[in-house]
Amino acid sequence: SQTIHQWPATLVQPVGSPLSLECTVEGTSNPNLYWYRQAAGRGLQLLFYSVGIGQISSEVPQNLSASRPQDRQFILSSKKLLLSDSGFYLCAWSYSTGRNTEAFFGQGTRLTVV
């Protein structure tokens, strides 16, 4: 069966510090991968998605970047965090075989920038 791991679960970082959130998927090959941010009352905002190694699409301009160094690894980064980067970050994956299936979500990371 497929599983998705996302860590850490919670993180408190000072303004101006770097960020690295990691997500890995097991049990499937060549998944589509996604990073979402969730802010209270705003639903889920798609930040980045990837259809393959090194292929990253950014949905919104921001202070964050994403990388996919391996087929089932997706990393969200920032060189200098802003207060506005606080939120709940969710990694997700979906099949890439042409079927329009649902996305499968990790447990999320609560990021607080202080």
Partner 1 sequence: AQSVTQLGSHVSVSEGALVLLRCNYSSSVPPYLFWYVQYPNQGLQLLLKYTSAATLVKGINGFEAEFKKSETSFHLTKPSAHMRDAAEYFCAVTGYGNNRLAFGKGNQVVVIP
The distance of closest approach from Cβ of residue 16 to partner 1 in the complex, given in angstroms and rounded to an integer, is 26
Residues 28-47 that bind partner 1 (CB under 8 A): 32, 34, 41-44, 46
**Is 90 near partner 1 (CB under 8 A)?**
yes
Total site size for partner 1, rule CB under 8 A: 26
**Is 14 near partner 1 (CB under 8 A)?**
no
**Is 54 near partner 1 (CB under 8 A)?**
no
Which of 3, 84, 107, 112: binder of partner 1 (CB under 8 A)? 107
Instruction: List strands edge to edge, sheet with 65-70.
Output: 3-7, 19-26, 73-78, 65-70
Place of tokens 């996919």: 68
Burial track 5-23 (b if 16+ CB lie within 10 A, e otherwise): ebeeeebebeeeeebebeb
Helix (H) or strand (E) holding 72, with range, is: none
Local structure of 22: helix, strand or coil: strand
Question: Which CB atom, from 34 or from 113, has the smaller least distance to partner 1?
Answer: 34
Q: Which two tokens stand for residue 24?
A: 């890995």
Contacts with partner 1 by CB under 8 A lie at 6, 32, 34, 41-44, 46, 49, 51, 88, 90, 92, 94, 96, 98, 100-108, 110
